[in-house]
Structure 1
Amino acid sequence: MEGRVILRDYVKKPVCPFCGLDIDRPAEPAAGTVEMPVGECRCGAVYAYDATGHNLGAAFLNALVFACRLDWERAWDMLPGEDYGEEIVHNYDRQYHLIIPGAFFEGRKIGGALYFIKLKGEGGRSPRSREATGCHTDYLGKNNPSPVVREKKRISKGELETLVRDYQVESLLEAARHDRKILWGLGRLLCAGDESLRLRAAEMIGAASAVIAREDPGRVAEFLKSLINSLADTGSSGRGTPDAIGAIISHSTENYAGYLPYLIRLLKDEAMRSGALRALERVAAIRPDLLRPWSGHFVQCLAAADPETRGLAAMITGRLGAVEAENPLEQLLEDRSAFGVYKDGRVCPQTVGQVARAALERIRAGRGGQ
């Protein structure tokens, strides 16, 4: 009996963080809807279940899309804080439908998480009746309410893609002054199959974020966090995501330099390394001092098998004036392997040897040619 008292005090029933009501166990979604188990509270909040607690980016997207009645376009247009609230409940055990504060229960490690989303205003999920339980697809029918009408005319998806594809930076920045959701629209293009389009979108995200951050740095921070969260699940992250993170930081280092360690961590991921190096090269061009504590990481990349990794690492070490990179750079002077360097909307071919030579010259000029 005593053991049961201790157990009752130790574990907790999961409740909605928005209203405090008990919630049901997340249910498997219907085919063709979302990917993770989901549920909904009587107050209208919805939640997605992440079994490991390490795929919160995917859980966020599943919950948001489920809240938006599977309307992906509308979900991408949503802004945190303005259109929805979000909360995360950690240490959730789906087997017993309990919160385990100590993260261990009956010899098992409990790492699950529930990602909650609650839309503001109309147009989302209606609060369900008290008799309804579990995951209900009746809210996903065809008779959905019309989306909330905004007073200000926003740039359309097609217009936005045209501005990026045609590299109309000034026109895009003018649009960003009137439409602060433009970052989320640009974010969709980070998944484009066209590399030039992805890189232009990333560059324009950085430029637009600088405009928006002058009046609302918190909104840019929320977008930046959403990009970082998406990297936790490669299935929901666009290939241009690291480039966009670097562009935001480089345009507003005074606000967002604290996010640099996230890019540094990506250097250990072979699939993300080149994107992370491109992003970090942007930062190095503006504030090399911010990256000098990690110069050893870039020197190691000079010996990588991938030409793009070697070339980008050479560019960064040159900008940092990293004298410890001189010998490795000298070994690359005859390296004729080609890779693409993005600048001003275009990807131009360079050889590793060319950028290594330029880096050496920069380093030696920085120390007086010694």
Structure 2
Amino acid sequence: MNKYPPECPFCGRYVVRPETTKTEFGEILSGRCNCGAVYVCDPTGHNAGEAYMEALALARGNWEIELMGEDIDYQTKDMDYDLKTHMKIYSAGVSEMKRKLIFVKHGSQNTKDSNRLSADSSQENLLPVTRYSSSSLKRHLKERIKDALISQSYTEIADMARNDKGVIRHLISLAYEKDEVSAWRAIEAMGVVAGELSKEKMDVVRDTIRRLLWSMGEESGGIGWSAAEMLGEIIRSNPDEFADIIPIVWSFKEEEMFRPGVVWAMGRIASVRPDLVRFILKDMQHMITDKNPAVRGYAAWTIGILNENSFIEDINKLTSDKSLIHFYQNGDLAQKTVAEIAIDSVKSMIYKQNK
């Protein structure tokens, strides 16, 4: 493993060690480069999604991430980083690859902006500290959400969201690590929240949809790692209202990083409104032969839900595929082989055919 002094990925200057920064949501490890880029450290590798959202908030100057306009151009970069030695890591082992230093910069930021930002280098003044006066807010909102995810109390999270749009931002950040069950429950909770808010605050839900779609686009730097899955849950919560979003989500199948989530989202929508996603069948031949085992597994599962018997022979070819993938179902995250999913899919279609 090689280590070198960390440099800003935007301007090449060496950056100083991130320091404790006070914000309205607690303390984070952050810094600013002279070029105007801000950076946040995730020293454990377990909160990278949250660190990205914090870096975006620092770049913006407030924490209303879901209100950022689609015309705002942000660039994001990250590096593997060791906080203890303040070194950039190359050729890190698996256990260290997730330790990140995450950078965000306004894509349109000019020299004048950079000079103004670098002149104000006081870490304590980056964002205001909120002094909570109500005893009901003593516990950090994020911790309350985490507790509710553990118990799968999604209606409780929806109740929080009625009074605080910050809940949506936290759910997005908590959905980053998709090898953890809590991330998938955050994804699932987003659907419940959207379903409840769409009854009285449709504008908030539509803004969230726009924000998630933006996060998947090139102008965002492709930071929407779980956006496709969350969009699937939002659509699933109110398919008649959000049917117009389905083709847009499906169009992201062309992006390799989003393809597994897009196919999974289609399966979730199909479980409540198969008629709205049957148009994807013309593309599913490519999905079940994709090089990514997650795409193959989710495709087999989705076809089984759609009960498309013309694919039985093709899915049968996957019943010897021993590739392991994460598979979230009924509140639990398990590792399943593509073969196991394919076998269940074929059995389901044959059962429905003979019923």
SS of structure 1 residue aligned to 2:275 = helix
Give the structure-2-normalised TM-score.
0.64
Which residue of 249, 253, 258 maps to 2:244?
258
Which residue of 310, 315, 336 maps to 1:350?
336
Which residue of 55, 59, 70 maps to 1:66?
59
2:178·2:184 contact (CA, 8 Å) conserved in 1?
no
Is residue 277 from structure 1 mapped to residue 266 from structure 2 by the alignment? no
Deviation at 1:242, TM superposition (A): 2.0
Deviation at 1:291, TM superposition (A): 0.9
Sequence identity (%): 19
1:88·1:115 contact (CA, 8 Å) conserved in 2?
no
1:36·1:62 contact (CA, 8 Å) conserved in 2?
no
Is residue 207 from structure 1 mapped to residue 192 from structure 2 by the alignment? yes
State the match for 2:201 in structure 1. Answer: 216
- The AA in structure 2 aligned to 1:307 is P
| Structure 1 pair 33–231 and aligned structure 2 pair: CA distance change class (3 A) | farther
State the match for 1:103 in structure 2. Answer: none
* Residue-pair matches, total: 275
Give the structure-1-normalised TM-score.
0.62
Which residue of 161, 165, 172 maps to 1:187?
172
Deviation at 1:327, TM superposition (A): 1.8
Is residue 229 from structure 1 mapped to residue 214 from structure 2 by the alignment? yes
Deviation at 1:293, TM superposition (A): 0.9
Is residue 363 from structure 1 mapped to residue 349 from structure 2 by the alignment? yes
SS of structure 2 residue aligned to 1:304 = coil
Q: Larger radius of gyration, structure 1 or 2?
A: 1
SS of structure 2 residue aligned to 1:283 = helix
SS of structure 2 residue aligned to 1:88 = coil
Is residue 156 from structure 1 mapped to residue 141 from structure 2 by the alignment? yes
State the match for 1:169 in structure 2. Answer: 154
State the match for 1:294 in structure 2. Answer: 280
Flag structure 1 segments of 5+ consecutive residues without an equivalent.
Answer: 1-26, 39-59, 69-73, 91-112, 117-131
| Structure 1 pair 28–62 and aligned structure 2 pair: CA distance change class (3 A) | farther
Alpha-carbon distance between aligned partners in 2 of 1:237 and 1:212, rounded to the nearest angstrom? 25
Alpha-carbon distance between aligned partners in 2 of 1:149 and 1:288, rounded to the nearest angstrom? 49
State the match for 1:327 in structure 2. Answer: 313
State the match for 2:71 in structure 1. Answer: 88
State the match for 1:47 in structure 2. Answer: none
Deviation at 1:250, TM superposition (A): 1.1
* Alpha-carbon displacement from aligned partner over 1:220-266 (angstroms, at most 9, x marks no partner): 11112111111124755253222112111111212222222233223
Alpha-carbon distance between aligned partners in 2 of 1:61 and 1:146, rounded to the nearest angstrom? 14
* Alpha-carbon displacement from aligned partner over 1:138-194 (angstroms, at most 9, x marks no partner): 456445684688998666222222322443334323323333331112111122375
State the match for 2:327 in structure 1. Answer: 341
SS of structure 1 residue aligned to 2:175 = helix
* Alpha-carbon displacement from aligned partner over 1:46-105 (angstroms, at most 9, x marks no partner): xxxxxxxxxxxxxx998864341xxxxx42x4552xxx7x47399xxxxxxxxxxxxxxx
SS of structure 2 residue aligned to 1:239 = coil
Q: Which has the higher contact order (CA 8 A, sep 6+)?
A: 2
| Structure 1 pair 63–194 and aligned structure 2 pair: CA distance change class (3 A) | closer
| Structure 1 pair 262–29 and aligned structure 2 pair: CA distance change class (3 A) | farther
| Structure 1 pair 225–270 and aligned structure 2 pair: CA distance change class (3 A) | same
Alpha-carbon distance between aligned partners in 1 of 2:143 and 2:161, rounded to the nearest angstrom? 15
* Alpha-carbon displacement from aligned partner over 1:257-292 (angstroms, at most 9, x marks no partner): 222223322322333222222222111111111111
| Structure 1 pair 67–29 and aligned structure 2 pair: CA distance change class (3 A) | farther
178-187 or 166-175, which deviates more? 166-175
SS of structure 2 residue aligned to 1:331 = helix
2:288·2:300 contact (CA, 8 Å) conserved in 1?
yes
Flag structure 2 segments of 5+ consecutive residues without an equivalent.
Answer: 1-9, 16-30, 38-52, 74-105
Q: Map 1:18-97 to 2 at 5 A.
A: 32-33=31-32, 65-68=58-61, 74-75=62-63, 77-80=64-67, 86=69, 88=71
SS of structure 1 residue aligned to 2:32 = coil
Alpha-carbon distance between aligned partners in 1 of 2:229 and 2:347, rounded to the nearest angstrom? 26
- The AA in structure 1 aligned to 2:227 is T
323-332 or 213-222, which deviates more? 323-332
Is residue 196 from structure 1 mapped to residue 189 from structure 2 by the alignment? no
1:184·1:223 contact (CA, 8 Å) conserved in 2?
no
SS of structure 2 residue aligned to 1:332 = helix
1:29·1:36 contact (CA, 8 Å) conserved in 2?
no
1:264·1:276 contact (CA, 8 Å) conserved in 2?
yes
